[in-house]
Structure 1
Amino acid sequence: MRAVLCGFALGVFCLQQQAALPGALHWVIGAALLAVAIAFAVWAFKRRTRWLRHAGFCALVVSAVFAGFGYAAWRAEIRLRDALPVSWQGRDIELAGHIEGLPSRDANGTRFLFAVDTDEARRTTGIAHFPSTLQLAWIDRTGAPEALPVLAPGDRWRLTVRLKRPHGNANFGVRDPEAALLARNVRATGYVSAASAAKRLPGRASGVGLTIGRWRFALRARIGAVLDDAPHRGIVMALAVGAQDAVGAEDWLVMRNTGTSHLIAISGLHISLVAGLCAALAGGLWRRSCFLARVSRCEWPLIVPAQIVAAVAGVAFAAFYAALAGFNVPAQRALWMLAVVSAAFVSGRSVAPSLVLAWALGIVLLADPWAVVTPGFWLSFGAVAAILLVVHGHLRVRHEAPDWTEHDEPPASRVSRALAAMRRWLIRWRERLMSAARVQYAVTLGLAPLTAFWFSQIPLIGPFANAFAIPWVSVLATPAVLAGVVLPAPIDAWAFHAAHTLIEALIAALRTISGPQWAVWRLPQPSAWALAAAAAGVVWCLLPRGWPLRWAAPLTWLPLCLPPPAGPPAGTFRLTALDVGQGSSILIETARHALLFDTGPGPESTHAGERIVAPFLQANGVPVLDALVISHADSDHAGGAGAVLQAVRVRQLLGGLPPSNRLWDAARTAGADTLRCSAGQRWQWDGVEFAMLWPDPGPLPKVSNAQSCVLRVSAPGMSALLTGDVDAPSERVLVARARDALRAEVLVVPHHGSKSSSTEPFLDSIDPLVAVFQVGYLNRFHHPDRGVWARYEARGIDLTRSDRDGAVRIEASGGVLALERYRETHRRYWMD
């Protein structure tokens, strides 16, 4: 059964790697192969020949793989069917529906899920399969976000919204947000376009999920009111209701660097602990129920044993706590494992722990086939698998206390008896400590390859940090939070304050031990083969003592330790234009150096610097930037600089920034040299020449776009011009000054293709072969301008745009420009 369930999971995983869903012919072939595999398995199991039985077992596993693949494809077909037509994008649509989940509120407004009244929407729009769930933003346009209405789960509204199809930034080595939208059944995103026309409808939507959502909303509001501006109140909220949107960036950084991020969420560990406490309490009360009820002849504890009551109560409370967590993947895994164990116990059966984990795996993927594309799925199941492997593979020797009878001679004195008791106590505690150490060793070792793949780092301080953080949160902080959940006001405030005090002490300790640079080992995202080799090595190393060649297991981890992928050959360079939405960020790599030109939007917009640019640099093995160029001060170019300075080492910052800009001080604090961009600056790296063409020395122009740095990168066979948001007057000066110096094969289009740039003489001077447009999907500025786009098309230039192609990578290969579009080479079936 384990192999069959794992085969089903493998089929689901394979479907999520496909560029397109299977067509009618594929369905017919797959169904035929499935039928043949099942028929062969049934026939083989009826034979007595051992090799036929083995062949039948293999056929059964293969049929499970086909079944998993087909099931995931069927679910994907149904979910993708609800789609917003392209012609309806950007149009105002009046919709009725209710709020779902927990809305997230910040200084810019409120983001929330909106469950649409699809029957009404289909009647008014004529769209046969109107999306049932929307992700919306109610943006504050008055400067007073507190004036926005409070949106609670279940509240019914009539809103005028402007929608677009689900679209996420697509970059090398960075997680795909479109997959997350599909998993949540979000088939359109947008914003409230006419806030004044919004109308709250009478009544509330009903349902178990919405009732739980209202409890979660009320709890979060209560914690927010009690803790007010407490620095770590977001962690208390996360432990109470699983909402992580209020956790501060500093707290996230400390937790990531110490490998304790899993403690912020309501994880499987917390659910198991709470379920165990609830089961013990229910069992104890059931045993004493006759005494408490003052019933002389009481038989119900004999009819229903206390162990069964405890098991049922533990699962019930685990389900309630998982619902509070929003049914994230680790919570689901813990819940289904508890349910399988309890069902086996109630039925009087014994189930192997590995089979319990396999059943939980199958049930989780039945409910959510897209769980396999999330890090929580791999980290949760990987941790439990490592624990089971090391715990059940270790032979435990129990030291029983001596059993004296009346004919035996007891120890000679009280001192001897006390020493014997102390010895037994020390032996028990030594066993517990050794068991805890083995578990921590297994989890650290087992999750290291997965952490390297998903986060491009391994917290070396993680085992020590978790050794005290896990019991601190599980035994002290979480019970305090739960006490606040169940206690009435105002007594609950004491519990929440106590929980915050405990969290504050924990964060202070974690911040102290995470200070040294060696505490976190940063490494590039491993390839699939390196990850598979490391995973095999983990299993090999965790096998019981006596397994052949266990000492050689670390050799399989060597691919993780390999240096980053080699840069381009000396004398050439590689240009990667990232997809950061409406903004710009370009990485230039030579054989031994790296330069980042702009950093995309920051916290004031989409957090692209933190979400995209910094993870991209780490995943692609760029721990050091020899130069960071900030073309000018506009937020879509400079907003992410703070995140980049925090994530990687920057040797020098060049910028077209006013002297008063805060980035100068931030760069100096981070240890970087600072220099203003100025025409005439030149340097050479690995046979590649860099020349700054704009702005001129002296005072910066008054117009922000005219302050943009213009950088030309040239090597034999390839040159590129990076232009920022340079405007038409600046282009004319550049053309008049050095027309031949502008020529380049690759042009990063000025100002995202707006009509204020890309003049005819400027394009004639450059004469590019490839033009890169960095624009946001259906951005409000309508970039690129149609006339500008037509101007480029008329010249026969190979055009790429980030909203359509994702990130773009360009390098010279054999005298020919090699152009890689991310959405072509890494396509998945959900990409729009």
Structure 2
Amino acid sequence: MRAGWCGFALGVIGLQRQAALPGWGGWLTLVVLGAAAVVVAVWGLRGDAAVGGAYTTSESASGPLASRWRTRNFRLGSRPGKFAGWSAVWCAAICAGFAYAAVRAEMRLAVSLPPAWEGRDIDVVGSIKGLPSRDEKGARFLFEVEKADAPVAAFPRVLQLSWIADDAPAPSLEPGDRWRLTVRLKRPHGNGNFGVRDAEATLLARNVRATGYVSAPAHASRLPGQARGIRVTVDRWRAALRARIDAVLADAPHRGIVVALAIGAQDEVSAADWLLMRRTGTSHLVAISGLHIGFVAGLAAWFAGAVWRRSGWIGRDWPLRLPAQIVSVTGGAAFAALHAALAGFNVPAQRALWMAGVVALAFVCGRNLARSTVLAWALGLVLLIDPWAVVSAGFWLSFCAVAAILFALSGRLSVRRDSDRRDDSSPVDAHARSRFAALRAALGRRIVAFCDRLRSATHVQIAVTVALAPLTVDWFSQIPLVGPLANGFAIPWVSLLVTPAVLAGVALPAPVDALALHAAHTLLDLLGAFLHLVSGPPWTLWWLPQPDAWTLAAAALGVFWLLAPDGWPLRWAAPLTWLPLLIPTPPGPPPGSFRLTALDVGQGTSVLIETAHHTLLFDTGPGPESTHAGERVVVPFLQAHGVRSLDTLIVSHADSDHSGGAPAVLEAIHVDQMVAALAPANALWSNATQHGAQTLPCAAGQRWQWDGVEFSMLWPDAGPLRGKPNEHGCVLRVSTQPAMVSEPGRPIQTTRPRIAALLTADIEAPTERVLLARDRGALRAQVLVVPHHGSKTSSTEPFLDSIEPLIALFQVGYRNRFHHPNAGVFERYSARHIELARSDSDGAVRVDVSPGHAVQGQGGSEANGAVLTLERYRDTQRRYWMDR
């Protein structure tokens, strides 16, 4: 079963990496391959039961170790067909997992909002699903549709909606409440950026096939009755618990962590707490994790068994009817299910629940399963229920952590000391030794046992840290170096003190619950002080770029090699496989070239310019006032790309879709210099200064060179800023330097023209005319970041004729309310046969400018002897759910 479930998981993971779902040819290949694998497996594994029985018989004659050794030799080499049989089992299981996930995906994607109904008002009737989240802007919630006033054959079952609090606050929204709402929807769409996790995959995993907002709050009406079902009952219970905690702790700084530990809802955890826990590698303790569920299940099992064994105190003989061990195991599994329900059945909670359930069922049936078999069953059950669990970090971190613990502890024997074998209660020993000597010996044994447990716990902690380090780099681009120390204190502190206090606050009635909840918060205060202490120095957090597949595979091999049992050959060489991960190659282009990446930040602008040894960020996208793109997209992209320091941050003007993300960038990334066209009173000036950045107003005539690439500012003029922000936005030109090259077959040298990119912020037609009047030649560029997102107030024909771009990049939000780009302006670019890219349909776009002569490759275009390579995120990183 282990091979079957692990192969099934590989098949599911493989499907989630596909650019498209299999067609009829793919299905035919899958069926034929799977059927052939089943035939080979049956042939290769025939007779195993009989052979196994023969070896079991010989065990009594030759001893268990000899039998185990002969069985292992038989498995490895005595019959070649067996190797083929087990290989076929893996192949058949992979095909089954791939096919199962594909069928589930086809069924889920079949229910989608038609494009024709995007942006239209639709009346829907349904109920609130799950726990709504609230902030100062309103409420966000899932809505389960019962009926929709739209002639759509398969209307989405689950919607993700926002109730925007403009004139009046959002009403109280409780799980299971039924409402009639007028909503405006769009198809599920997420920002697509290199190295940043895909939000569309998360929406698909939650079965959200349309997102939108309540377009007519005044006409919303609460309907009588409530939705029914166990899920609704659990959600209402969770909502009531959250309300109790909010009432007791009010504005306490760690209230969000208490809520997360009680019901698994993490939306109220403060940004400061998240930052501290990420820096120390303790983020896993915020949720109801498998560790917490295992601890609570063990406590419940002990309590149930203790009560059952003492039933004689009340005149009952329950243990004679049903063994206390069965009651204990069953009670622990039942309480694990209850606790997992509180967590909302997240992936780590599911993993712990299924492991507890499999162990309980095996014990009741009289079976003794290997721990790896229990983990394999949990893996298969999680993916059977939710094939999209593999797109979440919790899946990988949870299962890999448990697998690392089991593997690290395998093959290590616990040897009992001679002193432990002696029976200290012997009358001879009792008379032969003094009482003091007996106490000293007992104390020594306790100290030795404690040291053994401490050594084992340390070994497990190091194993988990080593095993999860590559995954932490892949998901979060960091390795907390103080992780083992922080977790060594935080795990027992949270598991043995904080979690029981939170559970006591949940279980006890008012007003006693307040004492337990306040005690839990006090314990979290102490934990926070310790984590602040150990995470103070900058070296405690090691930032690394996101690894590619080969680097990650090499690091995983090193983990397996390093954690192997004692006696594994050349274990000292295992860290060598980590060198590509820990010492990555510089990501910059070669000298004399530059790379431009236009990020997909929705309706806004953010462009990264890289040379061989320098980086410049032009604008930062929207901030908290809109989509949090600076914190949610720009900072993760920079960290995944290995950018820990910006030589220059340019904030083109004060509009929030260009400057809103700047505080998040300044907080997370070191900035040497900020150049901006902002009013003197703008808070970003002081914010940049506080973070150690030099500040400089943006002004025409500024020039500098990095690594053979020239940067020149064309607008605005020096002096006080005039007019609205769009009129004084920074205009930056980035160009390669002219070079003398020898043409093949020609004895003389010729000068190669500059290859340039022009970043124009939100300038409009009047500014374009001023720039044209000054110097048309200075505007010529092969790559153009389109002015003002393609607004009808910009991109005039003379301006485009002077630039003569080969590539034009539109940074626009999906179905944005400004209707950018304007249809007429977009046609103006198309008529000039310019290569066009749009962030709403293409995601992030990367342009590599190589000034040297090279052979033109796919996706590249030649300009004046240079090669411009254009890469669209949704082409190279495409997944089957995109645009479906």
1:368 matched to which residue of 2? 386
Q: 2:794 aligns with which of 734, 757, 760?
A: 757
Partner of 1:828, secondary structure, is coil
Q: 2:867 aligns with which of 816, 819, 825?
A: 816
Find the aligned partners of 1:98 and 1:632 in 2 and give their Cα distance: 43
Matched, 1:20 2:20: yes
Q: 2:594 aligns with which of 562, 566, 573?
A: 573
Find the aligned partners of 1:782 and 1:501 in 2 and give their Cα distance: 51
Cα drift, residue 409 of structure 1 = 5.5
1:658 matched to which residue of 2? 679
1:402 matched to which residue of 2? 422
14-23 or 30-39: which moved more?
30-39
1:649 matched to which residue of 2? 670
Instruction: Describe the superposition over 1:340-392 as per-residue Cα deviations: whole angstroms up to 9, x where unpaired.
Output: 11111111111111111111111111111111111111100111011111223
Structure 1 residues 37, 555: closer, same or farther in 2, change over 3 A?
A: same
Matched, 1:175 2:197: yes
Q: 2:833 aligns with which of 796, 804, 827?
A: 796
In 1, are the aligned partners of 2:587 and 2:641 still within 8 Å (CA)?
A: no
Cα drift, residue 45 of structure 1 = 2.4
Cα drift, residue 14 of structure 1 = 0.6
Amino acid at match of 1:312: T
Q: 2:656 aligns with which of 635, 638, 642?
A: 635
In 2, are the aligned partners of 1:523 and 1:564 still within 8 Å (CA)?
A: no
1:715 matched to which residue of 2? 736
Amino acid at match of 2:84: A
Amino acid at match of 1:138: W
Instruction: Describe the superposition over 1:760-781 as per-residue Cα deviations: whole angstroms up to 9, x where unpaired.
Output: 2221221111111001000111
Find the aligned partners of 1:467 and 1:286 in 2 and give their Cα distance: 35
Q: 1:766 aligns with which of 803, 806, 827?
A: 803
2:743 matched to which residue of 1? none
Cα drift, residue 408 of structure 1 = 4.8
Instruction: Describe the superposition over 1:687-740 as per-residue Cα deviations: whole angstroms up to 9, x where unpaired.
Output: 111001111111101301112111010115521111111122211111111221
1:725 matched to which residue of 2? 762
1:215 matched to which residue of 2? 237
Matched, 1:332 2:350: yes
Alignment of 1:447-458 (within 5 A): 447-458=468-479
Amino acid at match of 2:371: P
1:138 matched to which residue of 2? 163
In 2, are the aligned partners of 1:47 and 1:53 still within 8 Å (CA)?
A: no
Matched, 1:83 2:112: yes
1:829 matched to which residue of 2? 880
Instruction: Describe the superposition over 1:271-305 as per-residue Cα deviations: whole angstroms up to 9, x where unpaired.
Output: 001111111111111111231x2x1xx33211211
572-581 or 783-792: which moved more?
783-792
Partner of 1:187, secondary structure, is strand
Structure 1 residues 557, 158: closer, same or farther in 2, change over 3 A?
A: same
Partner of 2:793, secondary structure, is coil
Alignment of 1:142-161 (within 5 A): 142=167, 144=168, 147-161=169-183
Alignment of 1:583-732 (within 5 A): 583-716=604-737, 718-732=755-769
Alignment of 1:57-68 (within 5 A): 57-68=86-97
1:381 matched to which residue of 2? 399
Find the aligned partners of 2:431 and 2:422 in 1 and give their Cα distance: 10
- Report the RMSD for the aligned CA atoms in angstroms: 1.2
In 1, are the aligned partners of 2:591 and 2:611 still within 8 Å (CA)?
A: yes
2:70 matched to which residue of 1? none
Partner of 2:427, secondary structure, is coil
Amino acid at match of 2:413: L
Find the aligned partners of 2:765 and 2:715 in 1 and give their Cα distance: 13
Instruction: Describe the superposition over 1:20-53 as per-residue Cα deviations: whole angstroms up to 9, x where unpaired.
Output: 0001222122112211211221123226872112
Partner of 1:312, secondary structure, is helix
2:226 matched to which residue of 1? 204
1:557 matched to which residue of 2? 578
Amino acid at match of 1:25: G
Percent identity reads: 66
Find the aligned partners of 1:394 and 1:670 in 2 and give their Cα distance: 50
- Provide the TM-score with structure 1 as the length reference: 0.97
Matched, 1:125 2:129: no
Partner of 1:168, secondary structure, is coil
Partner of 2:847, secondary structure, is strand
Matched, 1:472 2:472: no
Cα drift, residue 562 of structure 1 = 2.1
In 2, are the aligned partners of 1:572 and 1:718 still within 8 Å (CA)?
A: no
Matched, 1:270 2:307: no
Instruction: Describe the superposition over 1:505-536 as per-residue Cα deviations: whole angstroms up to 9, x where unpaired.
Output: 21122122111110000010111111111111
Partner of 2:846, secondary structure, is strand
Find the aligned partners of 2:135 and 2:798 in 1 and give their Cα distance: 45
In 2, are the aligned partners of 1:216 and 1:241 still within 8 Å (CA)?
A: yes
Q: 1:537 aligns with which of 536, 558, 571?
A: 558
Find the aligned partners of 2:411 and 2:835 in 1 and give their Cα distance: 59
Structure 1 residues 203, 711: closer, same or farther in 2, change over 3 A?
A: same
Instruction: Describe the superposition over 1:572-608 as per-residue Cα deviations: whole angstroms up to 9, x where unpaired.
Output: 1100000000111000000110000011111111111
Find the aligned partners of 1:512 and 1:660 in 2 and give their Cα distance: 36
Amino acid at match of 1:213: D
Find the aligned partners of 1:290 and 1:89 in 2 and give their Cα distance: 68
Structure 1 residues 737, 398: closer, same or farther in 2, change over 3 A?
A: same
Find the aligned partners of 2:415 and 2:634 in 1 and give their Cα distance: 52
Find the aligned partners of 1:264 and 1:284 in 2 and give their Cα distance: 31
Partner of 1:547, secondary structure, is coil
Amino acid at match of 1:378: W
Partner of 1:700, secondary structure, is coil
Find the aligned partners of 2:526 and 2:212 in 1 and give their Cα distance: 41
Find the aligned partners of 2:566 and 2:624 in 1 and give their Cα distance: 51
2:410 matched to which residue of 1? 392
Find the aligned partners of 1:228 and 1:505 in 2 and give their Cα distance: 19
In 1, are the aligned partners of 2:311 and 2:317 still within 8 Å (CA)?
A: no
Find the aligned partners of 2:868 and 2:555 in 1 and give their Cα distance: 35
2:57 matched to which residue of 1? none
Cα drift, residue 496 of structure 1 = 1.1
Partner of 1:190, secondary structure, is strand
Q: 1:462 aligns with which of 483, 501, 515?
A: 483
38-47 or 185-194: which moved more?
38-47
Cα drift, residue 611 of structure 1 = 1.1
1:97 matched to which residue of 2? 126
Partner of 1:152, secondary structure, is coil
In 2, are the aligned partners of 1:84 and 1:187 still within 8 Å (CA)?
A: yes
Find the aligned partners of 2:625 and 2:639 in 1 and give their Cα distance: 23
- Provide the TM-score with structure 2 as the length reference: 0.92
Find the aligned partners of 1:164 and 1:698 in 2 and give their Cα distance: 44
In 1, are the aligned partners of 2:333 and 2:357 still within 8 Å (CA)?
A: yes
What residue ranges of structure 2 are gaps of 5+ in the alignment?
49-77, 738-753, 855-865
Matched, 1:255 2:277: yes
39-48 or 813-822: which moved more?
39-48
Find the aligned partners of 2:803 and 2:583 in 1 and give their Cα distance: 40
Partner of 1:505, secondary structure, is helix
Find the aligned partners of 1:230 and 1:352 in 2 and give their Cα distance: 45
Matched, 1:486 2:507: yes
2:329 matched to which residue of 1? 311
2:74 matched to which residue of 1? none
Cα drift, residue 126 of structure 1 = 2.0
2:338 matched to which residue of 1? 320
In 1, are the aligned partners of 2:309 and 2:318 still within 8 Å (CA)?
A: no
